[in-house]
Amino acid sequence: MKKRRDRKGTILIENVIFIVLNLAFLAILILFLLRQGNGAIVLEQSYAKNIALLIDSAKPVMEMKLNMEDAMNLAEKNGVNREDIVEINGNIVTVKLSRDGGYSYSFFNDVEVTSYPDVYPEKNYIIKVNAYKINVEGPAILNR
């Protein structure tokens, strides 16, 4: 009889440990889904890659207007300023739609690029390719 009682106790402990581990796994899964659910990460990646491709295909003194209504609405919801949504430093485009982070992607053209939001009611971003950068060794190749 003693053996049966000992066995019942171990089954109970194993079940409790199994339930606790399952609850921990489900909590982590729910947190991950909530973070992915607002779509900020997917939109950041999409816009950063699209802007980099636009810059790569652009010529100097070109101005592009990009409709970013979805991104601006999400950024406003997450408390990000309109001016901070797209940042271009060197050859890296960073799109930030939430306070936590952002997504960076690089482009290949050796050009100077500026970006700024359109006039307030508009939900566009203007990306302006100014000119080719001048290298220390000499001017950049102009015939591309």
Interacting residues of 104 by C-beta distance below 8 A, sequence separation 6+: 48, 92, 93, 94
3 state SS of 99: coil
3 state SS of 32: helix
In the chain, the percentage of residues whose pLDDT exceeds 90 is 36
Cα 108 to Cα 111: distance, rounded to the nearest angstrom: 9
More confident residue, 1 or 83: 83
CB contact at 8 A, 128 and 113: yes
Structure tokens at 114: 């500026």
pTM value > 0.85 = no
Residue 29 has pLDDT above 90, yes or no: yes
Cα 51 to Cα 96: distance, rounded to the nearest angstrom: 13
Average pLDDT value for residue range 15-19: 93
* pLDDT, position 92: 93
* pLDDT band (50, 70, 90) for residue 99: confident
Distances (CA, A) of 124 to 86, 89, 131: 11, 20, 22
pLDDT in tens, 32-88: 887 776 678 888 999 999 999 999 998 888 999 999 998 898 888 888 998 999 999
More confident residue, 141 or 101: 101
* pLDDT, position 120: 76
* pLDDT, position 6: 54
Domain boundaries, the chain: 1-37, 40-132
* pLDDT, position 4: 54
* pLDDT, position 5: 53
* pLDDT, position 7: 57
Detail the DSSP E strand segments found in 4-142.
62-67, 86-89, 92-95, 103-106, 111-117, 124-132
Interacting residues of 76 by C-beta distance below 8 A, sequence separation 6+: 82
Residue 144 has pLDDT above 50, yes or no: no
Q: Which of 98, 100, 103 is nearest to 78 (CA)?
A: 98
Total number of residues shown for the chain: 144
